[in-house]
C-alpha cells in the first residue's frame, strides 16, 4: 500500500492530496485519503495580459508549496508528482517558476499537455460512478482552461475516446469580459459569446452526442452544488455525486451574476479565492449545459469531488 502525494497547480488554485493506494489482485486500485488541501494562489494572475507569471503570484505559490512540502515529509510519503497546467504553459518566465518548485518541493513540476490533463481528470472523475451510466462526458472547468473528455468506465479501467482542452476558464473569462461588479448585461452577453465560441471547437473535436451522463469536476461546479443545495458551509460528502438539474444550474448562474462582491463573499460555501471569478465559471457552466442538452439530450449535471488530483495520485502506481 504505497503512500503517494499528488499536487495539481492550476491557474487559480494549488491542491495537495496525500493518499494510500491499495492495489487489488485484479489490478484495480483504490485511494484512501490521508490529507487533502486546497489553497487559492491565483498563479495565472494577469498572464493573459502580460504573458508572464506575476512575482506576487509566484511568491504566493512558493508559500503554499513550502507548507505542502512539510506535510509530505511529515506523512512519510514515498512518491510525489506535481502537475502544472494552463497558467505555466503560457508563461514566458516559466523556467524561473520551475526552479522555485524544484528548490521548494524537491521534485520537478511537469507541464502536461491538454490531452494528458483531460485523461487524468477523467480517470479521477469516474471511479465512483456506475459503468452502466456511461459513456460519460467529463468537463473540468479551471481558471485558465476547460477540458472536455468523452469515455467509458468498466468498473476497473477508464477508456478515453476523445478529449479537447480549451483556453477558457473562470479567471480568463472574468479578466477578459466581466469588469463591473456585478457585471453588466452587455458584459455577461459578451462573456457568454466568447465562451461559446471557444467551446465550439471542443465540441467539434469531441462527439458528445454519444454521452449519457455529464460529470463536472473542479471548484466552479462543486461550489455550484453547495449553493444549489443551500449548504451553510462546504461539505464534500454532500457535494460528491450530487445531481443538479439544468434549471438549478441556470438559477444558480443567474443568482451569482446578479450579486456584487460582498454578496458573493457572504455565501457560506464560497471560498474567498473564488469570489471574484465565479461569474466567469458560471458562464462556462451555462454554455456547457446548453450544448450538452442540444447535442446529447443531457438535462443535468453529476458533480464529482474526485478529479485530476485523484488521477495524478493513481498515476504514481502505474
> What mean pLDDT comes out for the span 96-117?
90
| Sign of the torsion formed by the C-alpha atoms of 126, 84, 21 and 218 | negative
Q: Give the pLDDT confidence score for residue 273 in this predicted structure.
A: 87
Bridge partners, residue 9, by sequence? 14, 84
pTM for the complete prediction?
0.82
Residue 158 binned pLDDT confidence (cut-offs 50, 70, 90): confident
**3-state helix/strand/coil string of the chain:** CCEEEEEEECCCEEEEEEEEEEECCCCCEEEEEEEEEEEECCCCCCHHHHCCCCHHHHHHHHHHHHHHHHHHHHCCCCEEEEEECHHHHCCCCHHHHHHHHHHHHCCCEEECCHHHHHHHHHHHHHCCCCHHHCCEEEEEECCCCEEEEEEEECCCCEEEEEEEEECCCHHHHHHHHCCCCCCCHHHHHHHHHHHHHHHHHHHHHCCHHHCCEEEEECHHHHHHHHHHCCCCCCCHHHHCCEEEEHHHHHHHHHHHHHCCHHHHHCCCCCCHHHCCCHHHHHHHHHHHHHHHHHHHCCCEEEECCCCHHHHHHHHCCC
Query: 129-303 has which CATH code?
Result: 3.30.420.150
pLDDT at res. 90? 72
Instruction: For strands 300-303 and 213-217, give the pairing.
Output: parallel
Least confident of 141-155, 208-222, 266-280: 141-155
- CATH 3.30.420.40 domain range(s) in the chain: 3-111
Whether the pLDDT of residue 309 is over 80: the answer is yes
Per-residue H/E/C for 87-156: HHHCCCCHHHHHHHHHHHHCCCEEECCHHHHHHHHHHHHHCCCCHHHCCEEEEEECCCCEEEEEEEECCC
pLDDT band at 86 (very low <50, low <70, confident <90, very high): low
- pLDDT of res. 199: 96
* Residue 27: alpha-carbon gap to chain centroid: 27
Q: What percentage of the chain exceeds 70 in pLDDT?
A: 98
pLDDT tens across 114-143, in order? 778 778 889 899 988 999 999 999 999 988
Does residue 13 or residue 241 have the better pLDDT?
241
Q: Using the structure block, give the residue that is written with the C-alpha cell 528548490.
A: 103
Q: In CATH terms, is domain 3-111 a member of 3.30.420.40?
A: yes
Residue 173 pLDDT = 94
Q: What is the pLDDT of residue 271?
A: 92
Lowest mean pLDDT among 95-99, 156-160, 191-195, 301-305: 156-160
What is the DSSP pairing of strand 3-9 with strand 13-23?
Answer: antiparallel
Neighbours of 196 (CB within 10 A): 18
What band does 237 get if pLDDT is binned at 50, 70 and 90? Answer: very high
Name the grid cell of 244.
443538479
- Give the per-residue pLDDT at 155: 77
Compute the distance between CA of residue 255 and CA of residue 282 in angstroms, rounded to an integer: 10
Q: What is the pLDDT of residue 116?
A: 83
**pLDDT higher than threshold 70 for residue 290:** yes
Per-residue pLDDT tens over the stretch 34-59: 999 999 898 888 887 888 999 999 99
Cis status, amide bond into 135, omega within 30 of 0: yes
What percent of the chain has a predicted confidence (pLDDT) above 90? Answer: 74
Indicate where the chain has its CATH 3.30.420.150 domain(s): 129-303
Amino acid at each position: 500500500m504505497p503512500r503517494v502525494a499528488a499536487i495539481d497547480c492550476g491557474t487559480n488554485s494549488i491542491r495537495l492530496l496525500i493518499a494510500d493506494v491499495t492495489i487489488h489482485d485484479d489490478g484495480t486500485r483504490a485511494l484512501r485519503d490521508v490529507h487533502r488541501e486546497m489553497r487559492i494562489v491565483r498563479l495565472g494572475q494577469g498572464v493573459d495580459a502580460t504573458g508572464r507569471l506575476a512575482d506576487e503570484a509566484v511568491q504566493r505559490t512558493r508559500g503554499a508549496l513550502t507548507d505542502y512540502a512539510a506535510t509530505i515529509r511529515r506523512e512519510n510519503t514515498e512518491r510525489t508528482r506535481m502537475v502544472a497546467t494552463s497558467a505555466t504553459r503560457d508563461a514566458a518566465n516559466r523556467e524561473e517558476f520551475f526552479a522555485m518548485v524544484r528548490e521548494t518541493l524537491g521534485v520537478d513540476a511537469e507541464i502536461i499537455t491538454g490531452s494528458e490533463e483531460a485523461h487524468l481528470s477523467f480517470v479521477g472523475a469516474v471511479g465512483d460512478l456506475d459503468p452502466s451510466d456511461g459513456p460519460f462526458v467529463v468537463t473540468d472547468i479551471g481558471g485558465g482552461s476547460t477540458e472536455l473528455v468523452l469515455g467509458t468506465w468498466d468498473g476497473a479501467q477508464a477508456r478515453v475516446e476523445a478529449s479537447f482542452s480549451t483556453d477558457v476558464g473562470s479567471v480568463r473569462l472574468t479578466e477578459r469580459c466581466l469588469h463591473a461588479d456585478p457585471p453588466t448585461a452587455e458584459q455577461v452577453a459578451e462573456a457568454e459569446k466568447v465562451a461559446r465560441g471557444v467551446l465550439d471547437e471542443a465540441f467539434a473535436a469531441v462527439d458528445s452526442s454519444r454521452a449519457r451522463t455529464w460529470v463536472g469536476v473542479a471548484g466552479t461546479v462543486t461550489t455550484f452544488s453547495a449553493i444549489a443545495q443551500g449548504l451553510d458551509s462546504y461539505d464534500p460528502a454532500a457535494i460528491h455525486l450530487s445531481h443538479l438539474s439544468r434549471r438549478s444550474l441556470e438559477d444558480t448562474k443567474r443568482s451569482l451574476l446578479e450579486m456584487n462582491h460582498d454578496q458573493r463573499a457572504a455565501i457560506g460555501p464560497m471560498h474567498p479565492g473564488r469570489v471574484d471569478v465565479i461569474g466567469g465559471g458560471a458562464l462556462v457552466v451555462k454554455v456547457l449545459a446548453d450544448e450538452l442538452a442540444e447535442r446529447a439530450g443531457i438535462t443535468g449535471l453529476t458533480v464529482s469531488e474526485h478529479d485530476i488530483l485523484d488521477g495524478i495520485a493513481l498515476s504514481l502506481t502505474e
